[in-house]
Copies of this chain bind each other. A is one copy, B any other.
Amino acid sequence: MEYSAKQLQIIEVAERLFSQKGFAGTSVRDIAQEADVNVSMISYYFGSKEKLIEALFEIRMSESRSRLETLVQSEDLNPIQKINMLIDNAIDRLMGNQCFHNIMLREQLSSERTPVISDHIRNLKLRNLELMQQLVREGQEAGVFRKNIDMSLMSTTLYGTINYAIATQEFYRKINDLENMEEEEFQKYLRKRLSQHLKSLFKSTVTNEHHIEN
């Protein structure tokens, strides 16, 4: 599916507004006005407000997927380095598309799911998990990772932490006295801290044999 410049413009505005005010909280008039197009264009171009958000997922999910697949190609790294790459890839994807991942998280919080979107999300999550499990298996075979790692919970921690860090970044700024830092610099800083934090978490967990066994 190809989208015209005007369609992409609408999608981008919609992404921002859905992120800020939620899907139900955003009217097509809001979108049309900010995208500087006629209201009827949204139904005209996409069929409905529902189809618009589906188009958004279509685009962003394929981007996410291709960025995920670049990970597979890196062959000459050791298991820990690969895990670290996966972590940075996740941080980049989520931090670099905060609006979209905000929408995606909301979608997962909702019980009014659209099949098309749910499928997208499930597929990406499956692929994510698959990749993580493969990396871990490699590490285990190389003897550097411990057995009995619940990768689905590690994955939950990875995405849960990043998502929650994004959601509460303002609070993080305040309590760490970073309120005067430039927005761009803060974003870089937060990425770095998240990267260190998550790498440390993962390293301790996948390598440490002395974990709790209850």
Contacts and interface: CB of A to CB of B under 8 A. Distances in A.
Interface string A196-209: 11011101110010
A20 to B, nearest CB: 4
B163 A164 contact: yes
A35 interface: no
Q: Top 4 closest A-B pairs, CB basis?
A: A160-B164, A24-B25, A204-B204, A160-B160
Nearest to A25: B24
Nearest to A20: B111
A116 to B, nearest CB: 17
Contact of A211 (B163, B164, B165, B204): B204
A8 interface: no
Chain copies in complex: 4
A172 B108 CA distance: 13
Interface of A: 19-25, 102, 105-106, 108-112, 122, 125-126, 129, 150, 152-154, 156-157, 159-165, 167-168, 171-172, 175-176, 193-194, 196-197, 199-201, 203-205, 208, 210-212, 214
A125 B165 CA distance: 13
Contact of A203 (B159, B196, B212): B212
A92 to B, nearest CB: 17
Given A22-B109, A25-B112, A105-B105, 10 more contacts: A19-B109, A21-B24, A22-B106, A105-B167, A152-B172, A153-B161, A200-B211, A201-B205, A203-B212, A204-B210
